[in-house]
């Protein structure tokens, strides 16, 4: 093997392993997707838990004659128990304070004639769920009592008692383009942001690695064995490989956890609250709860990897150049401006490109090398981008990367051995001209 390539390979391997086997990396790689799933599933899970905990006993002070209280007692369940009481209101109130009941319900005489209001007195406000539950049952009981009072026939009663449920279904299979647009817009958004964050985070890793090497002064030993450019390349590729590993693991864990956990979670979810029929399959429940992921075309994943790699390489070399100029992370802030600006700009264009992905402006913006990893990915997801545009964007990205890493290498070479005052951008630009 060529000596230079062998050295780059040795550096890539060392940089990669050193990081991948660290506790921090392993923890982050394994925990982040679980955190992601947790965040996605938290609202449903919490709602379920809240329901479990809210088993309440409500005293019923019935001033209408006792029929209503008995009917309510009959519709009690695990979560909500109605207990008819005949004590004076004051003593019931005291019992609630003492904690015997969670609250009491006052049903005034006028309730049956439709004039009065049932009133619930509790120690706490009570959650929305409780309120809805109590209200629902009271009105049901009152309605039946009134119907009986009006001598309604059995037939009328049974008609009124039959449940009416509405099933929500999304139209799938053919047609309804709107549905697809939404899914792919979401995918495009996610991909654009993942590239943005990945380039940003892993770029910072590279910068931090360069700064560590410089401030620990190990760099002078290394560059007495390898060319600075080989060290730069090895570091960028090693950390890039680490990032790719992490993202692949994340993607696999997220998909695996969703595939395995969605049906499991669905068991805990109340189908009725999601608007699916009670006997719906767990997959359908999970889908309704937003726990499923739409299928992503393989070609799109392929482009995603290419643009991630290209974007990372381009920006990482610039992060490395900035890192070489400073001795501590905080000194890098001002110097990062020219690196961060082209990275953030496409985020500002996102909305426009999303709105009109085929407009000339969008096409041009998505071809600009510093923007293409984010904007071309977005367009690729939401519209059918001609292959020549994709290839042109990648080609331009590659050319820019080669130019930039050459420039970054010249800066890096001088920077890693310069200690003392943090240089200005102008000084750094001059380093590139040194022999």
Partner 1 sequence: MAHLDVSNVTKRYGDTVAVNDVSFSAKPGRILGLLGPNGAGKTSTIRMITYIAVPDAGTVRYDGRTVGPWSQQRMGYLPEESGLYKRLRVKEQLVYLGTLKGLSEAKAAERADYWLDRFGATDWADLKTEELSKGMQQKVQFIATLLHDPSLLIFDEPFSGLDPINAELLRDIILELRREDRTILFASHRMEQVEQLCDDICLMANGEVVLDGALRDVKQRFGKNTLILEFDGPDTFIDELAGTGRVRVNTRSAHRAELTLADGADARSVLDLALDRTDELYRYERVEPPLNEIFVDTVGEAEARRMQHESVTGTA
With CB under 8 A as the contact rule, the residue among 52, 131, 139, 225 that binds partner 1 is 225
Residue 103 pairs with which residues in a beta bridge?
A: 58, 122
Nearer to partner 1, 51 or 427 (CB): 427
With CB under 8 A as the contact rule, the residue among 221, 267, 348, 351 that binds partner 1 is 221
User: Residues 403-422 vs partner 1: string with x where CB under 8 A?
Assistant: --------------x-----
Nearer to partner 1, 102 or 230 (CB): 230
- In the complex, the smallest distance separating the C-beta of residue 14 from partner 1, rounded to whole angstroms, is 5
- In the complex, the smallest distance separating the C-beta of residue 80 from partner 1, rounded to whole angstroms, is 58
Should residue 171 be labelled a site residue for partner 1 when binding is judged by CB under 8 A?
no
SS (H, E, C) the chain: CCHHHHHHHHHHHHHHHHHHCCHHHHHHHHHHHHHHHHHHHHHHHHHHHHHHHCCEEEEEEECCCCHHHHHHHHCCCCCEEEEEECCCHHHHHHHHHHCCCCEEEEECHHHCCCCCCCEEEECCCCCHHHHHHHHHHHHHHHHHHHHHHCCCCHHHHHHHHCCCCCCCCCCCCCCCHHHHHHHHHHHHHHHHHHHHHHHHHHHHHHHHHHHHHHHCCCHHHHCCCCCHHHHHHHHHHHHHHHHHHHHHHHHHHHHHHHHHHHHHHHHHCCHHHHCCCCCCCHHHHHHHCCCCCCCCCHHHHHHHHHHHHHHHHHHHHHHHHHHHHCCCHHHHCHHHHHHHHHHHHHHHHHHHHHHCCCCHHHHHHHHCCCCHHHHHHHHHHHCCCCHHHHHHHHHHHHHHHHHHHHHHHHHHHHHCCCCCCCCCHHHHHHHCCCC
Should residue 435 be labelled a site residue for partner 1 when binding is judged by CB under 8 A?
yes
Buried b vs exposed e over 125-145: b needs ≥16 C-beta within 10 Å? Answer: ebeeebeebbeebbeebbebb
> 323: which 2 tokens?
């890192």
- In the complex, the smallest distance separating the C-beta of residue 8 from partner 1, rounded to whole angstroms, is 11
Should residue 143 be labelled a site residue for partner 1 when binding is judged by CB under 8 A?
no
Should residue 328 be labelled a site residue for partner 1 when binding is judged by CB under 8 A?
no
Nearer to partner 1, 218 or 344 (CB): 218
With CB under 8 A as the contact rule, the residue among 22, 119, 333, 403 that binds partner 1 is 22
Handedness of CA 354, 358, 360, 364 (dihedral sign): positive
Q: Which stretch binds partner 1 (CB under 8 A): 76-84, 174-182, 212-220, 367-375?
A: 212-220
Q: Which stretch binds partner 1 (CB under 8 A): 67-75, 208-216, 277-285, 340-348?
A: 208-216
Should residue 32 be labelled a site residue for partner 1 when binding is judged by CB under 8 A?
no
Should residue 11 be labelled a site residue for partner 1 when binding is judged by CB under 8 A?
yes
Q: Which stretch binds partner 1 (CB under 8 A): 8-16, 316-324, 335-343, 381-389?
A: 8-16
Number of residues that bind partner 1 (CB under 8 A): 25
Strand ordering across the sheet containing 119-122: 80-85, 56-62, 103-107, 119-122
49 burial (CB, 10 Å; 0-12 / 13-18 / 19+) is exposed
With CB under 8 A as the contact rule, the residue among 218, 259, 387, 391 that binds partner 1 is 218
Q: Which stretch binds partner 1 (CB under 8 A): 114-122, 162-170, 221-229, 372-380?
A: 221-229
- In the complex, the smallest distance separating the C-beta of residue 416 from partner 1, rounded to whole angstroms, is 10
- In the complex, the smallest distance separating the C-beta of residue 248 from partner 1, rounded to whole angstroms, is 24
Should residue 216 be labelled a site residue for partner 1 when binding is judged by CB under 8 A?
yes
Nearer to partner 1, 93 or 227 (CB): 227
Should residue 223 be labelled a site residue for partner 1 when binding is judged by CB under 8 A?
yes
- In the complex, the smallest distance separating the C-beta of residue 327 from partner 1, rounded to whole angstroms, is 12
Nearer to partner 1, 229 or 401 (CB): 229
With CB under 8 A as the contact rule, the residue among 40, 195, 226, 269 that binds partner 1 is 226
- In the complex, the smallest distance separating the C-beta of residue 319 from partner 1, rounded to whole angstroms, is 20
Should residue 208 be labelled a site residue for partner 1 when binding is judged by CB under 8 A?
no
Question: Using CB under 8 A as the criterion, which residues of the chain lie in contact with partner 1 when the complex forms?
Answer: 3-4, 7, 10-11, 14, 18, 22, 212-213, 216-218, 220-227, 417, 430, 434-435
């Amino acid at each position: 093997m060529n000596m230079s390539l062998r050295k780059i390979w040795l550096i890539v391997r060392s940089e990669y392993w050193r990081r991948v086997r660290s506790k921090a990396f392993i923890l982050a790689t394994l925990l982040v997707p679980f955190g992601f799933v947790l965040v996605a599933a938290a609202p449903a899970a919490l709602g379920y838990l809240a329901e479990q905990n809210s088993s309440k006993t409500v005293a019923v002070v019935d001033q209408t004659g006792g029929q209503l209280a008995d009917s309510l007692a009959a519709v009690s369940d695990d979560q909500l128990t109605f207990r008819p009481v005949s004590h004076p209101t004051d003593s019931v109130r005291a019992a609630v304070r003492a904690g015997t009941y969670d609250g009491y319900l006052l049903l005034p005489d006028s309730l049956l004639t439709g004039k009065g209001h049932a009133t619930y007195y509790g120690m706490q406000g009570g959650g929305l769920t409780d309120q809805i539950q109590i209200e629902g049952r009271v009105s049901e009981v009152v309605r039946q009592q009134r119907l009986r009072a009006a001598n309604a026939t059995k037939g009328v009663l049974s008609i009124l008692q039959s449940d009416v449920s509405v099933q929500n279904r999304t139209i799938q299979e053919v047609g309804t383009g709107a549905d697809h647009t939404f899914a792919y817009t979401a995918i495009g958004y996610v991909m654009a942001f993942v590239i943005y964050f990945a380039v940003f985070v892993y770029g910072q890793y590279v910068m931090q690695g360069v700064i560590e090497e410089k401030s620990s002064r190990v760099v002078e030993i290394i560059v007495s064995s390898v060319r600075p450019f080989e060290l730069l390349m090895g570091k960028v590729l090693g950390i890039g490989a680490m990032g790719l590993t992490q993202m692949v693991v994340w993607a696999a864990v997220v998909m695996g956890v969703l595939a395995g956990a969605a049906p499991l979670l669905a068991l805990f979810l109340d189908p009725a609250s999601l608007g699916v029929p009670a006997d719906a399959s767990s997959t359908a429940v999970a889908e309704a709860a937003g726990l499923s992921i739409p299928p992503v075309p393989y070609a799109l994943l392929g482009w995603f990897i290419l643009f991630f790699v290209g974007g990372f390489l381009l920006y990482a070399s610039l992060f490395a150049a900035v890192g070489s100029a400073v001795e501590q992370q905080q000194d890098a802030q001002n110097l990062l401006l020219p690196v961060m600006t082209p990275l953030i700009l496409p985020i500002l264009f996102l909305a426009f490109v999303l709105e009109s992905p085929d407009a000339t402006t969008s096409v041009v913006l998505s071809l600009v090398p510093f923007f293409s990893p984010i904007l071309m990915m977005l367009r690729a997801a939401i519209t059918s981008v001609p292959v020549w545009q994709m290839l042109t964007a990648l080609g331009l990205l590659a050319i820019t990367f080669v130019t930039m890493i050459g420039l970054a290498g010249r800066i890096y070479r001088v920077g890693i051995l310069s200690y003392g005052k943090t240089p200005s951008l102008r000084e750094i630009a001059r380093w590139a001209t040194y022999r």
